[in-house]
Structure 1
Amino acid sequence: MSVDVRLVRDLVATIDDREPLVVVIGDCILDRWTVGEAERVSREAPAPVVRVTETIAVPGGAANTAVNARALGARVRMVGLIGDDEAGDVLRERLETAGVDTSFLVEITGARTTTKSRVVGGDRVVVRVDDLAGTPTAEHNERLARAVARAIRCADAAVVCDYGLGVRAEDVVPVLDRDRPGAIVVDAHDLPRWASLRPDLVTPNAGEAAALLGRDLGTGADRVAAVVDARADVLARTGARAAVVTLDRDGTVLLERGSDEGYRTRAVPASEQQASGAGDTFCAAASVALAVDASVRDAVSVAQAAADVVVREAGTSVCSAAALLASVTAPAATVVDHDELAVAVERARQDGRRVVFTNGCFDVVHRGHTTYLRQARDLGDLLVVALNDDDSVRRLKGPERPINPAEDRAGVLAALACVDLVTVFATDTPIPLIERLRPEVYVKGGDYSPEMLRETAVVRGYGGEVVMVDYVPEHSTTAVVRRIREAAAASAGSTVPAAATTATAAATDPEGTPDGKVIPQ
């Protein structure tokens, strides 16, 4: 998990103490899920026949944002347009059951409530049918504006969820300007419409960001650099103090005024077929965090953790405060044996994820390690770190190593946000494990070239890529051990010259090289 456990605990406790008031303004949707088994193909058309086992109706769109905000501990008022039809009745009932105040909903006589119905056969959405509400009249828009004015009194945060289904900026912006809540978050398909509101945070996804900029962002992790390069344009066109661009399996990039660098969060990827409404959860969590005066970076970090919870579930799901806490405090399942690792890698590959593999002793984890592991993680979607066991470390580095046993070394690596899976191997090289997993990318950190590595021929033999990433001079286990020895010698009044200590370390540790370079491995 990429978010700090203490941050989540403190934030959840603050929300529980303060019970902030969050007003959600936007397009209310009823999500229907018809679930069953796809057993055969129809004779009437090339379509699966789904034997229905369950039908579920849950709040979607802005209503899903409202339910998520309530589940995280906020008091929530929902403002939006609904019809007086059966779908509207169901949606209102679901919101009230979740604890959301629905007294500010504007019900339109004779109108439809927007409904999105999905049919799921097995683990795949077979079809989605959208039944959209009609265009509201001027009278309906005026009623909505009056409802917003009543709802935002004493609000700690307001969230605008505009999917182009009826809520208009020209009706809502003047009201929010007159009685501005503590924080304003906008989640909209067309963000420039809301620029005059000067939101504290906007949350475009990759497609919305591309439309905003009028250019393609590229694919995969390349989108991160494209988003950071476009920081000034994104903030100027949205009028926002900060913008967080959500990049599905590549996490998010936060753009802030006064900072040229983007702040990244990393996602726990899931099958795209399972994920629905994760953006609503993200928006809700960020808004609730801002409502209790969290920094925007802390808000998006916690929002990423909340979104990671719901993408593991089928359908339109909700992240509660308890589920969020459980997800970040549960014992890590990061350290796995080779069989578990093979299953996880195969599952990731089936989901279209790019597997990155690296290995080393990682005896005393230092800045050199963390730098190259972050670089390695940026090369794909799943970073696997294979760790030499204690016997193989002794064979490689001498009888005084390792300083830390394999269990401790694995635990430290598993705690790093950039590391997805850790395993321990007993052979002198990871070649047998590489041959079994066949990762798309093999990475080494340090002063190597691919030709120096026996693994290179194996990886290239099955079509994989070998990448060398930068090392950080004077940040290696050798250097750390050397400094400890020098400090100990100095405190003991030793007359052993520092140069002699350095020479001894280099002679007994392969991480030191004859020309004085340091290899972080």
Structure 2
Amino acid sequence: MTTLSAGENTPNGEDLAGQRGLEEWLPRRLAAIGPAVTVVGDAMLDGWWSGTIERLCREAPAPVVDIGQRSFAPGGAANTAVNLAALGAKVRLVGVVGCDRAGAELLRQLEEAGVDTAYVCRVPDLTTTTKTRISSGGQLLLRFDESAGRIPTAALAASAVSLPEVLQNQDAVVICDYGAGFLSGPVKSTLVTALAGRPASLLAVVDAHDPRSWAALRPDLATPNAKEAAELLGLKLSASAGRPAVVVEHRQELLRATGAAAVVVTLDREGAILLPASGDVHRTWAKPVAEKQASGAGDTFVAALTLGRAASLPLTTSVDLAQAAADIVVRRPGTSVCSTDDLGQHLASFADTALDAGELARRIGRHRAAGQRIVLTNGCFDVLHRGHTRYLNQAKQLGDILVVALNSDDSVRALKGRDRPINTVTDRAAVVGALSCVDYVTVFDTPTPVPLIEQLRPEIYAKGGDYSPEMLTEARAVERYGGTVAILDYVADVSTTAVVKRIRHGGGAVPVEST
């Protein structure tokens, strides 16, 4: 597996962002590493046709759409491949297309995107799988699909024969099985055999409608969406029934069903849940939008997740990166791609996220009027580590909107000494604001956050478990207006002071979980 060069991983594996500035460094560095990734699976062409409706047809009360625009984009495994290429990976695609216009268009776009198509089998008389969506006025009206039906045995056999060679010297393989028929018979059996004794440096990711069929592969990651996870569990997952909690409750069943070392369940508007075989559960929060015509965000998520892990980023960091990439494409109509520049600009947008107290109070007022509960926490958050990320994820789950108040640089110096903070408040705000669980960041320069608490009046005030309510002067301020003080888990032996000490004294990394 390709790794970050010496000195670029942080001491505890979790505070990469805090060391260099995630928003300006990480996407470019991943692209420079350029892991080699093979995508194997069901390649498709997505069509997006739009037009106007001014009449109904005479034969039935059905609208007539006068098509004004046609566009096409790689879909399915092909979409995963172009997203990986756009993020800087060196990508090969293994699949089949027909010798038809759709197949030619798909290959053209793949090659234009920098994807190696030498192992895409061109099959005469085969219909390239195409999914065409018809819309008008921003409203999706209809989708019609064309598919190959049964893929010739000779085409599957030819692809299977090439797999052992294709997988040589790769950092990752992504299996995209959408039930279109390519990943069956000889292709599947050859893949399982070739990857059964794979080296630890070769990451195996399964993105399948039915991950159970790949459990024998023992993949490193399986990435079911909410519907697929529900089918694995034999449950109905309703968005109104607390899907994240249900997924976490059934962690072991999902791990057993997929055979994976870790499962990442994507929950569209509710973000994603990382369920590792060992270590803490990790959640991301999506930035939902009203766009109803976006497609393929799951492919983008898998691509960014794979890229991060193939470059040896911690699993939690890779999941956060994947969520950021998905948040980008879900804001765009059609099937789109997240590039290195897109990701860098998106993360850089958090650099100026710190709001003054007045503007923050106005925004909180709107959230409260909508019935949302406000959670406030505060701290230095100087060199971000896994204790911070675990704590902030727990704080988010106490309410709807999480506000993080950062000590100013002068305040940190007063608390920690003249050699702190390591990172300026601008950098600290950018890193904390980039976490999917954080909604707002502000800065306070008073000895305690009591003035801010009295101005914002959060329903819940959260602090880490190394504090007690009796120790917090701010607890009395919260209780005066009827708020609640929540004391969260404390991660023993993990602190910014300890991290800085290891850096300065050359202690090196300490063993951590893979998450």
Partner of residue 477, structure 2:
511
Partner of residue 225, structure 1:
245
Secondary structure of 2:254's counterpart equals helix
1:198 paired to 2:214: no
AA matched with 1:126: L
Return the offset for 1:88: 0.3
Secondary structure of 1:511's counterpart equals helix
TM-score (norm 2): 0.71
Secondary structure of 1:300's counterpart equals helix
Secondary structure of 1:356's counterpart equals coil
AA matched with 2:348: T
Partner of residue 374, structure 2:
358
Q: CA deviation digits over 1:58-103, x for unaligned, max 9?
A: 1000000000000000111111011001100000001001011111
Is the CA contact (8 Å cut-off) linking 1:108 and 1:140 kept in structure 2? yes
Which stretches in structure 2 are left out of the alignment for 5+ residues? 1-15, 383-387, 406-424, 444-450, 488-515
Partner of residue 133, structure 2:
118
Is the CA contact (8 Å cut-off) linking 1:37 and 1:52 kept in structure 2? yes
Which of 277, 292, 296 is the matching residue for 1:257? 277
Secondary structure of 1:15's counterpart equals helix
Which of 193, 211, 227 is the matching residue for 1:207? 227
Is the CA contact (8 Å cut-off) linking 1:475 and 1:518 kept in structure 2? no
Matches within 5 A, 1:393-408: none
Partner of residue 161, structure 1:
176
Pair 1:345–1:140, CA change in 2 (3 A): farther
Measured in 1, the distance between the counterparts of 2:88 and 2:305 equals 13
Return the offset for 1:216: 2.1
Return the offset for 1:378: 3.6
Matches within 5 A, 1:44-63: 44-63=59-78
Q: CA deviation digits over 1:392-437, x for unaligned, max 9?
A: xxxxxxxxxxxxxxx99x969956643435799xxx999xx99xxx
Which of 17, 20, 23 is the matching residue for 2:32? 17
Secondary structure of 1:31's counterpart equals strand
Identity %: 40
1:94 paired to 2:109: yes
Secondary structure of 1:79's counterpart equals strand
AA matched with 2:326: A
Is the CA contact (8 Å cut-off) linking 1:473 and 1:518 kept in structure 2? no
Return the offset for 1:142: 0.5
Matches within 5 A, 1:49-448: 49-176=64-191, 177-178=193-194, 180=198, 182-220=202-240, 222-259=242-279, 261-271=280-290, 273-330=292-349, 331-332=351-352, 335=355, 356-358=372-374, 377-378=396-397, 383=401, 417-420=436-439, 444-445=459-460
Pair 1:8–1:74, CA change in 2 (3 A): farther
Is the CA contact (8 Å cut-off) linking 2:375 and 2:460 kept in structure 1? no
Q: CA deviation digits over 1:344-383, x for unaligned, max 9?
A: 979xx9xxxx8624387979999xx999986674477x62
Secondary structure of 2:295's counterpart equals coil
Structure with bigger gyration radius: 1
Let me know the Cα RMSD of the aligned residues. 4.4
Is the CA contact (8 Å cut-off) linking 2:284 and 2:437 kept in structure 1? no
Partner of residue 466, structure 1:
none
Pair 1:513–1:240, CA change in 2 (3 A): closer
Is the CA contact (8 Å cut-off) linking 1:275 and 1:314 kept in structure 2? yes
Secondary structure of 1:240's counterpart equals coil
Measured in 1, the distance between the counterparts of 2:288 and 2:32 equals 32
AA matched with 2:325: A
Return the offset for 1:319: 0.4
Secondary structure of 1:87's counterpart equals helix
Pair 1:345–1:313, CA change in 2 (3 A): farther
Is the CA contact (8 Å cut-off) linking 1:474 and 1:518 kept in structure 2? no
Measured in 2, the distance between the counterparts of 1:204 and 1:254 equals 11
Is the CA contact (8 Å cut-off) linking 2:23 and 2:345 kept in structure 1? no
Secondary structure of 1:130's counterpart equals strand
My pick for the range that moved more, 240-249 or 167-176, is 167-176
Higher normalized contact order (CA 8 Å, seq sep 6+, divided by chain length):
2
Return the offset for 1:220: 4.3
Return the offset for 1:173: 4.3
Equivalences, count: 431
Pair 1:416–1:26, CA change in 2 (3 A): closer
Return the offset for 1:148: 2.3
Return the offset for 1:112: 0.4
Pair 1:193–1:344, CA change in 2 (3 A): farther
Measured in 2, the distance between the counterparts of 1:361 and 1:252 equals 23
